[in-house]
Structure 1
Amino acid sequence: MADDSSIGRNLDQTHIGRARRLRGILRTPVQTRRLEHQHFDGGDPHGVLYSVIRNQEDKPPVPTIIYDPSRIDFDKPGKHHYQVAFHLDSTWGYSLVPLTVVNGRRPLGSGSPPPGVAAFGGTHGNEWEGQVAVKRLCADLDAEQIRGRVILMPQLSESACVANTRSSPLDGVNMNRAFPGNPRGTISYRIAHFVKTQIFPRVGVVLDIHSGGKEGAFPICTSFHPIPDPVQRAEIYRVAQLFDTPIILIYSSQMASGLLTDEAEAEGKITIGGEFGAGESVNLAGTRHAYEGIRNVLRHYGMLEGEIVKIDPSRPTPPKLVAAPNLDDYVPCPADGIWEPTVELGAVVVKGELIGRLHDFSDHSSAAREIRAHRSGIVAMMRLGAVARKGVTLYVIAEETAL
C-alpha cells in the first residue's frame, strides 16, 4: 500500500498536497489498510492521470485482532468483525479465529427479549457448506435490520479449515470432541473453552452447521440428540424445521463425547446440528438450506423482519423426522475393502435387503462380501468414498418416528 515516500516518487509536492486536500487520506494505520488507488486529472499541461489513494467508506472495516478474548465487547451496538488470537503451542504465532458480533439497532420493544443466536461453521475444517453460509451472513446481516444479538463464527477450528482437514493439524484434536474445553489445554481445547465461557452465556440458540466431509454422505438434514426435557425438545424440533431439509435426524448421543452440541444441549440451549453436504465441496442446495435456515431462525424469534422462507418450494411436504438412537444403527465395516453401495442414500430398505458389497482386491477371484440391512428403515448415512477401513461406519439406518 502506498505511503508518503512512494507517492512522492510519482507526484510532485503540489500534487501530493492536492491529493491530501481532496480526500483527507493517510490518517491512521487502520484506515490506511482501507484505502485503494484511484486516478484523477492532476491538472498538468499534458493531462497525465496520477494515482492517488482514496478512502473507501463503502468497504467493511478490517477485522480487529483481539489478543485477550475476555476483552471482546459483546454488547457494543452495531456489527463488529474480530479475529480472536489463540497463541500457538509450538511456535511464536497465533491462530486467528474469525468472529462477527451483531447487536441490532432495532428497538427490543416490550415483552421478552430475543434469545440471542450463535451460528458456527468450520467445527470440522473440511466441511465447507457451513463455513460459506456463516461467512456470507457475516457480510450480509445489517445491524439496522437486526433485533437482539447474533454471534457468528464461520471457521471455529481455523487451523483445520486452512488445512482442509477434519481435525486441527496443530494439536491433532477434533474440535467436535474438545468440549467443554480447557483454558490451559492445547489450542482446540482453548477455543472450545472460549465458546463455552464467552459465547454460550450470551445466547439461547446454538446452530452448528456440518457436512459429511470425507467421512460419509447424508441426506441434507438438521439433527439433534434425544432430549429428555419436553419443552426444550419441542422448541428444538420447531427450530429444526425452519431449515426446510428433507429429513430431521435424531441421532445417538452415545457415538462420541465432547461435542459442541452436547454441551449446548446440556446447558438448555435450543441446539441444532445438521449435515448439509459431503465430499469437501460446497453443495449448492446444502449451502442454501444452511444460509436461509439461519435467517429463518432469526425471523422465527423476531430478530429479523419478514416471513419464514420456504427454502425448497419443489418439496411441499414438511421434513420427515427419523431417529437412529441406538449404537447398533451405526454399522461398522467388518474388514478392509472397497465399498460398493447397492442402494441410494435416503432409500427405504427392509431387513435383510442388500445394502452394498465389500470387495477384497488382494484376491480378485473372490466373491464380494455382501452387507445386508440389519433392520428396516431409511438409509440416513452412507460411507463416502470407495476405500473402507475396518471399523469405519459403513451406513446408518434410521426409522421414521414421532416427537
Structure 2
Amino acid sequence: MKAGQAVRKVATPRRNSVFTSIDLDRDGKQIGYFNVPQSPHDDAWGSVQVPLAVVKNGEGPTVLIEAGNHGDEYEGPIALGELLREIDPADIRGRIIAIPAINVRAVEAGTRTSPVDGLNFNRSFPGDFNGTLTNQIAAYVNDCLFPIADYFLDLHSGGSSLMILPSAIIEPSPTPDGHRRNIRATLAFGAPTVVMVDNLGETRTSTAAANLQGLIVIGSEMAGGGLVSQDALAICRRGIRNVLKHAGVLQGEVEIPASANARVLKVPGAEGYIISDEDGVFEPITELGTVVNKGDIAGRIHFLRTPQREPLVLYHPIDGVVFAKRQPGRVRPGNCCFVLANEYPEALVEEEAGHER
C-alpha cells in the first residue's frame, strides 16, 4: 500500500451468473454489455443487457462513472455517451469504466423505478444476486466493479418529480481521510453550487456503498423535471472531464470556471424537507435558489374537489436556500415539496478538505 493511501474495504464477490464479453483489463476502447440472466414469460433463457464500456491505457487509476441510476434523469446518460464516442484511449492513463444506463429498464421506460420489479436502484445496495433484476444489477456493481475502482462518479438530476439546483454533491465519508478526498474531488467537478447531502443517513445508495468500500465518491444533481437542460448538460460534460483530470486519468488541466463552487450548501437533515400531509394540487411560491427565512410562505396546496376549502399554506421550516422543489402539481401525503439547504462556511470546507481547495 502506498503512503497516505486509504484503507479499502473490498467486498468479497458473491457467487453469481452475470456475464460479459468485455475484458476489463484490456487496453483500448470496448463498448458492450454485462448480461443479467432473466427468465420472463417471453424469454425463458434470456438476459437483460446493461450497457458497459471500458476505456483503458496502461497502468493508472480507475474511475467508475454511472448514469441512468434513475431512468428519468437524462443529462448524465447523454454526457457520458458523448464522452465514450469522443474519447481516444491514447488521451488517458489508467482506466474508465462507464455504465451510461445502469437502471436500463427504467431508462428505456423513462421512469424513476424499474418497471420490472418496481424497485429504486438507488435504494438497493449492496444488492442481492438471488433477488430481482434491480438487486442483481446493484450486486454486480457492488461486488465486481467497486472493488476494482478508485473513484466513483454518480450522475443524477431531479428526475420527473423534482427540479434541483445544478450541483456537485459531497457524499460524507465514514472516515476523515475519505471525507477530505471526497470534498477535493467534488470541488474539482466545477459545478456552480456544491451541496453536502447524506440522504438522511441512507446506506442503500450507490454512493454510500462506494464510500463503505473506500472509493473517492462524487455525486451530481443536474436540474430535472423530466427535461434536458442545456445549462445543466454543459456543467455535466465539463464536470465528467474535470473529475477524470483530477484523478489523473485524463490528460490536461482541470477547467474550473469563475462561477464554479460559488456557493457551498449542506442539507441539514429532516428539518430541511417540506413534506405534504394532504392530497391536492401543489402551488410552489418560492423559486429554486431563493434565500428564505423560517416562516416564509413556501407554497400552497389546493383542494379542487372541495372549492369551499381554503388552500393549505406551507411555510419554510428553517432559514436556508431552496435546493429542490417539486415539479408535478399533483401531491399526495408523503410527497416532497421542497428541500432546503444551509450555507456551509467556506473556511469549514477548506478545513475539512485539508486546506487544498
Q: Same fold (TM over 0.5)?
A: yes
Rg larger for? 1
Q: 1:68 to 1:87 in 2, by over 3 A?
A: closer
8 Å Cα contact 1:81/1:100 also seen in 2:
yes
Secondary structure of 1:304's match?
coil
| Cross-structure match for 2:285 | 342
* Residue 331 of structure 2 is aligned to residue 388 of structure 1: yes
* Residue 234 of structure 2 is aligned to residue 288 of structure 1: yes
CA distance in 2 between counterparts of 1:209 and 1:360 reads 36
8 Å Cα contact 2:174/2:211 also seen in 1:
no
* Residue 118 of structure 2 is aligned to residue 168 of structure 1: no
8 Å Cα contact 1:329/1:398 also seen in 2:
yes
8 Å Cα contact 2:267/2:340 also seen in 1:
yes
Q: Which aligned pairs between 1:110-259 and structure 2 lie closer than 5 A? A: 114-254=60-200, 256-259=202-205
8 Å Cα contact 2:52/2:97 also seen in 1:
yes
Q: 1:70 to 1:94 in 2, by over 3 A?
A: closer
* Residue 38 of structure 2 is aligned to residue 88 of structure 1: yes
Scaled by the length of structure 2, the TM-score of the pair is: 0.87
Deviation at 1:68, TM superposition (A): 4.7
Deviation at 1:69, TM superposition (A): 2.3
Deviation at 1:257, TM superposition (A): 4.0
Secondary structure of 1:131's match?
helix
Secondary structure of 2:224's match?
coil
Question: Which stretch shifts more, 267-276 or 359-368?
Answer: 359-368
| Cross-structure match for 1:266 | 212
Structure 2 gap ranges (5+)? 1-16, 350-357
Secondary structure of 1:277's match?
strand
Q: 1:255 to 1:359 in 2, by over 3 A?
A: farther
Deviation at 1:71, TM superposition (A): 6.1
| Cross-structure match for 2:57 | 104
Secondary structure of 1:254's match?
helix
8 Å Cα contact 2:203/2:209 also seen in 1:
no
Secondary structure of 1:209's match?
strand
Which one of the candidate residues 335, 359, 371 is aligned to 2:302? 359
Q: 1:197 to 1:217 in 2, by over 3 A?
A: same
Deviation at 1:282, TM superposition (A): 1.6
CA RMSD of aligned residues (A): 1.7
8 Å Cα contact 1:89/1:187 also seen in 2:
no
Question: Which stretch shifts more, 223-232 or 390-399?
Answer: 223-232
8 Å Cα contact 1:252/1:327 also seen in 2:
no
Structure 1 gap ranges (5+)? 1-66, 109-113
CA distance in 2 between counterparts of 1:344 and 1:293 reads 25
8 Å Cα contact 1:120/1:156 also seen in 2:
yes
Identity of aligned residues (%): 32
| Cross-structure match for 2:341 | 398
8 Å Cα contact 2:33/2:52 also seen in 1:
yes
Q: When the two structures are aligned, how many residues end up with a matched partner?
A: 327
8 Å Cα contact 1:226/1:253 also seen in 2:
no
C-alpha distance after superposition, 1:239-283 (max 9, x if no partner): 111222222111234364411111001111111122112122221
Deviation at 1:399, TM superposition (A): 0.6
| Cross-structure match for 1:31 | none
CA distance in 1 between counterparts of 2:187 and 2:25 reads 30
CA distance in 1 between counterparts of 2:234 and 2:125 reads 28
CA distance in 1 between counterparts of 2:20 and 2:49 reads 15
Deviation at 1:319, TM superposition (A): 3.4
Runs of 4+, deviation exceeding 3 Å: none
Secondary structure of 1:218's match?
strand
Q: Which aligned pairs between 1:366-377 and structure 2 lie closer than 5 A? A: 366-377=309-320
Deviation at 1:119, TM superposition (A): 0.5
Structure of higher RCO (CA pairs closer than 8 Å, 6+ residues apart): 2
* Residue 322 of structure 2 is aligned to residue 379 of structure 1: yes
Deviation at 1:161, TM superposition (A): 0.6
